[in-house]
Amino acid sequence: MIRFLTAGESHGKSLSTIIEGFPSNLDLTSDYINFHLKRRQAGYGRGQRMKIETDTSEILSGVRFGKTLGSPISLIIKNSDWENWTKIMSPDIPSIDFNYERVSIPRPGHADLVGISKYNFDDIRNSIERSSARETAARVAAGSIARKFLENFGITVGSFVESIGGIYPAENYLFDLLQNKVKKNYSAWQLSVKADRSQVRVLDAEQENKIIRKIKTAKKKGDSLGGTFVTVATGVPVGLGSYMHYERRLSSNISHSIMSIQAVKGVEIGLGFAAANGFGSEVHDEIVLKGNSFTRTTNNAGGIDGGISNGLPIIVRAAMKPISTLMKPLKSVDLKTMKKVEARRERSDFVAVPACAVISESMLAWTLAQSFLEKFGGDSMEETMDNYQAFTGKLQNRIKNNFRRS
């Protein structure tokens, strides 16, 4: 069973995470994690903070000479901005009195009002700090370990932005994936390689131009935008997850992990909501034998049947709402005066859909690694590999022999 916890406030000293349960002898370096941390920072439409930070992880435990030890892995990502916040965010009681403005005007769409209501704070800053999507840097670090683990078994994860501000590509890439119209045996990571070349992580150059123009308009108007993105995993073996209990279904665990990303408001697997509109004969994927193994003519199920991976690519689509902080704010109430006011402006991104897609890769990788280790187990990578090979190598013959007998 793998698990991770993150800690850290957006403008605190650092973000940190403890990751537990990976087998020993997994090759791991901070360079690998930092590569993905850098990808999270990119994207046209991000705010000033990303110019201050160069997110870099420092591994504190659990790894020796580039290999995991099986012990808890802990790492930190320092906040460069901390030096501007040492007084305001100090964990210690200030030795001298200093004046700082307590935040009292909640921003619509943020956790500001519910946060102070729930935790009984007299300063919205106390909620802003932990609810901030800055926390996702620590998630990407943890998720990078999961993706490194999965790569050993030929599983890769990738993503692309499908739309921003309602601007979709001329070609429906998601549909092509669901219809199995893309290159046979494509790797999900190749989708990311292509998307990373775009400033907004889309696959279509004309769409990119239109989106950048729309983001410029949003910026000028003091507004923000959201969008949709697609996350894919390829090389996933048959048999991850289970229909035995609700919390073991791979589909529900993936939805949970993607939905947990700040500002995500919708998640679909495979055809998702569109599956509700067609006839059964149009939606379900026909089973065919390809060589010695089973596959499907289409992948509308998004690689999961009955909560169990079926060997086809896992395809997830999600929707991110527009960033809640607006430079041209909506109405709110000042909690000090209880009077109607404009919501507070706070430095923020205008668009973070490209970053959100990168974060979703980490969350998908994490969930797959969790289900993978639940199925195959192992205290060392060698043992996990043996278990994996024993199952996948014998699967097809087992099916054949079982049914021949009866």
Q: How far is the CB of 156 from ligand EPS (least distance, A)?
A: 24
Contact 250, 70 (CB under 8 A): no
The yes or no reply on residue 137 touching ligand EPS (CB under 6 A) is yes
Instruction: Tell the burial category of 329 from Cβ atoms under 10 Å away from its Cβ (0-12, 13-18, 19+).
Output: middle
Residue 238 C-alpha from the chain's centroid? 23
CA distances from 80 to 12, 84, 170 (A): 9, 8, 41
Range list of H helices, 231-380: 250-259, 280-283, 353-376
Residue number with CB closer to ligand EPS (79 or 367): 79
Backbone angles phi, psi at 333, to 5 degrees: -130, 135
Residue number with CB closer to ligand EPS (127 or 299): 127
Residue number with CB closer to ligand EPS (162 or 349): 349
Beta strand spans in 36-186 (E): 57-61, 63-64, 67-68, 73-78, 156-164
Question: Site for ligand EPS (CB under 6 A): which residue of 17, 24, 126, 132?
Answer: 132
Q: Residues with Cβ < 8 Å from 203, sequence gap 6 or more? A: 160, 169, 173, 191, 194, 195
Q: Which among 16-24, 179-187, 195-203, 345-353 is the span making contact with ligand EPS, rule CB under 6 A?
A: 345-353
Task: Sketch the per residue contact string, 319 through 338, with ligand EPS: x for CB under 6 A, - otherwise.
Answer: ----xxx-------------
What part of residues 199-238 is at the interface with ligand EPS (CB under 6 A)? none
Total residues interacting with ligand EPS, rule: CB under 6 A: 16
Question: Site for ligand EPS (CB under 6 A): which residue of 118, 181, 197, 347?
Answer: 347
Q: Which among 22-30, 88-96, 265-273, 346-354 is the span making contact with ligand EPS, rule CB under 6 A?
A: 346-354
Task: Sketch the per residue contact string, 46 through 75, with ligand EPS: x for CB under 6 A, - otherwise.
Answer: -x-x--------------------------
Q: Residues with Cβ < 8 Å from 25, sequence gap 6 or more? A: 67, 68, 380, 381, 382
Question: What is the side-by-side order of every strand in the sheet holding 57-61?
Answer: 3-7, 14-20, 73-78, 57-61
Task: Sketch the per residue contact string, 380 through 399, with ligand EPS: x for CB under 6 A, - otherwise.
Answer: --------------------
Q: Which among 58-66, 134-142, 264-272, 365-373 is the span making contact with ligand EPS, rule CB under 6 A?
A: 134-142
By the criterion CB under 6 A, which residues form the site for ligand EPS? 10, 47, 49, 81, 132-134, 136-137, 323-325, 347-349, 352
